[in-house]
């Protein structure tokens, strides 16, 4: 074939492709303009994963607050750094008459949602019971002390940039080397028999010493909706129930706990004492944190509880669990530095992965403050996110696990999304929200042809009360991408003569 003919073929091909790009770019620009969101800052990137070509952009390199889209970086990097075969392993060890609980930073230990997925389904009490039986079977007659070995992580359990007025909320649960039950207490609140009386309160896990620190100021009502809340003292595990209760709530009120490691140590000590495993005087074992240089050379494992990384990544992305993401970040920091995992160490691990996969520019322009996106100091561009998504899509070892970890329509945090937005293709995406920030990034997949797009839509400075417009804009942009994919499939069929 001559050079002249070759040039002609290229020109024809370019003329055939460019209008489709132009249409998608024009559609997205119009959608952003017509959204009529005052002062909106929008970063948008759409990439064709088959060709690697960028199809549409809008302020694509602007560093934006990602909210929970930060979890895309955290979970992808965790799979890369730790490996898809990695598992968190919490060890229960006996040394003399001491029980050492060696934390692995496993965010799913004792998590009811994860235990419900086991076969057969289990509860946190089932897990504690299994540990108690293992202690009994070890031949130890008394347990005088429980030592929490939390050195896998540092002891900065609360991020300095998380909202200080929300630290008792479940999404701000402290990040510790030993995590249990998501470091929260679940409050189940039911109406009393008589109107006006305080409602009934049950907590999970059951802890009678905590129940004595619950002040019940709520009341039972005969009509109206439940309006009940739980407040926690910022400095201790003292709780106040407020509001009105008409019926028992299906979902619990979840509150993050203070000083979780000592609390869970006391929980295990209580269950051991109930099983007759007390200290020499017949009392409950004391609980303390490990000393920095402490060694347990004579300790032996009596139980090891393991959670696969892939299960954690899946639940993290589907349900957008902040604690899971933060534990992944700190655990990456530990693997890379071989020191106690920290936010700084985890941020360095993600930057390292960004540099390796996307180059130093992407790493240098991305600000990593935490792993979940709760911090408003995180910054990443839409272009970096789609490049990251493309890199993981083309990684044969990570693709299926990572892409499969993202929720689709009707699932997890996308349960109420795209209900009024018809799509011909599969969407797998991560949504994100903190005040004035609405984000959505992920994949749009043509299951018939295997073609797919990576997209990132980062909306910042969304005024209060305009969130519904931001979500609608997300879905309209994805719908435009969906139509583009359908048009490409039709043109491919026509080009193949059929």
Residue-wise pLDDT tens digits, 318-365: 999 999 999 999 999 999 999 999 999 999 999 999 999 999 999 999
Please give the pLDDT value at position 125. 97
Cα–Cα distance, 229 to 240 (Å, whole number):
8
Instruction: Assess if CATH 3.40.50.300 describes domain 3-82+311-495.
Output: no
User: What's 259's DSSP letter?
Assistant: S
Name the strand (E) or helix (H) holding 87: strand 87-95
Where along the chain do its domains lie? 3-82+311-495, 87-310
Among 158, 184, 155, smallest CA distance to 169 is for 184
Percent of the chain with pLDDT over 70: 95
Cα–Cα distance, 261 to 174 (Å, whole number):
10
Assign 211 a pLDDT band (cuts: 50, 70, 90).
Answer: confident
CA-to-CA separations, 413 to 63, 320, 432, 440, 479, in angstroms, rounded: 24, 7, 9, 11, 18
Asked whether the CA dihedral 260, 349, 75, 126 is positive or negative, the reply is: negative
Residue-wise pLDDT tens digits, 231-243: 999 899 999 999 9
pTM (whole model) above 0.85:
yes
Please give the pLDDT value at position 21. 63
Cα–Cα distance, 184 to 175 (Å, whole number):
11
More confident residue, 72 or 212: 72
User: 43 pairs with which residues across the strands?
Assistant: 458
> Looking at residues 93-117, what average pLDDT do you find?
97
> Looking at residues 453-458, what average pLDDT do you find?
98
146 touches 287 (CB < 8 A): yes
Cα–Cα distance, 126 to 119 (Å, whole number):
13
């Amino acid at each position: 074939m001559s050079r002249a003919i070759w040039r002609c073929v290229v020109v024809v091909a370019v003329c055939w492709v460019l209008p489709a790009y132009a249409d998608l770019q024009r559609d997205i620009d119009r959608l952003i303009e017509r959204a009529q969101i005052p002062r909106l800052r929008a970063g948008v990137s759409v990439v064709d994963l088959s060709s690697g070509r960028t199809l549409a952009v809008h302020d694509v390199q602007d560093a934006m607050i990602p909210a929970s889209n930060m979890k895309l970086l955290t979970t992808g990097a965790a799979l890369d750094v730790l490996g898809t075969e990695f598992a968190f392993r919490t060890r229960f060890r006996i040394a003399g008459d001491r029980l050492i609980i060696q934390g692995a930073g496993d965010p799913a230990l004792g998590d009811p949602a994860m235990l419900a997925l086991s076969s057969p389904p289990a509860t946190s009490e089932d897990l504690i019971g299994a540990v108690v039986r293992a202690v009994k079977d070890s031949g130890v007659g008394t347990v005088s002390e429980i030592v929490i070995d939390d050195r896998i992580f540092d002891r900065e359990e609360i991020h300095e940039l998380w909202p200080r007025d929300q630290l008792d909320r479940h999404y701000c649960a402290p990040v510790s080397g030993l995590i249990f039950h998501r470091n929260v207490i679940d409050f189940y609140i039911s109406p009393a028999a008589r109107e006006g009386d305080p409602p009934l309160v049950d907590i999970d896990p059951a802890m009678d010493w905590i129940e004595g620190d619950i002040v019940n100021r709520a009341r039972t009502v005969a009509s109206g909706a439940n309006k009940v809340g739980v407040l926690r003292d910022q400095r201790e595990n003292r709780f106040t129930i407020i509001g009105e209760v008409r019926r028992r709530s299906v979902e619990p009120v979840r509150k993050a706990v203070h000083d979780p490691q000592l609390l869970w140590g006391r929980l295990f000590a209580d269950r051991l004492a109930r099983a007759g495993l007390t200290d020499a005087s017949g009392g409950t074992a004391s609980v303390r944190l490990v000393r920095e240089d402490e060694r347990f050379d004579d300790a032996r494992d009596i139980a090891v509880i393991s959670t696969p990384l892939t299960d954690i990544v899946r639940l993290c992305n589907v349900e957008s669990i902040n604690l899971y993401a933060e534990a992944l970040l700190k655990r990456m920091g530990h693997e890379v530095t071989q020191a106690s995992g920290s936010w700084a160490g985890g941020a360095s691990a993600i930057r390292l992965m960004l540099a390796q996969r996307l180059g130093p520019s992407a790493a240098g322009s991305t600000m990593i403050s935490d792993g979940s996106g709760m911090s408003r100091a995180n910054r990443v561009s839409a272009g970096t996110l789609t490049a990251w998504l493309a890199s993981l899509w083309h990684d044969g070892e990570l693709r299926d696990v990572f892409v499969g970890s993202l929720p689709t329509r009707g699932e997890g945090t996308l349960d109420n999304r795209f209900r009024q937005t018809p799509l011909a293709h599969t969407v797998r995406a991560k949504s994100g929200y903190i005040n004035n920030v609405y984000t959505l990034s992920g994949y749009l997949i043509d299951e018939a042809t295997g073609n797919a797009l990576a997209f990132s839509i980062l909306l910042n400075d969304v005024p209060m009360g305009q969130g519904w417009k931001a979500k609608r804009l997300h879905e309209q942009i994805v719908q435009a991408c969906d139509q583009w994919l359908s048009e490409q499939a039709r043109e491919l069929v026509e080009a193949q003569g059929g």
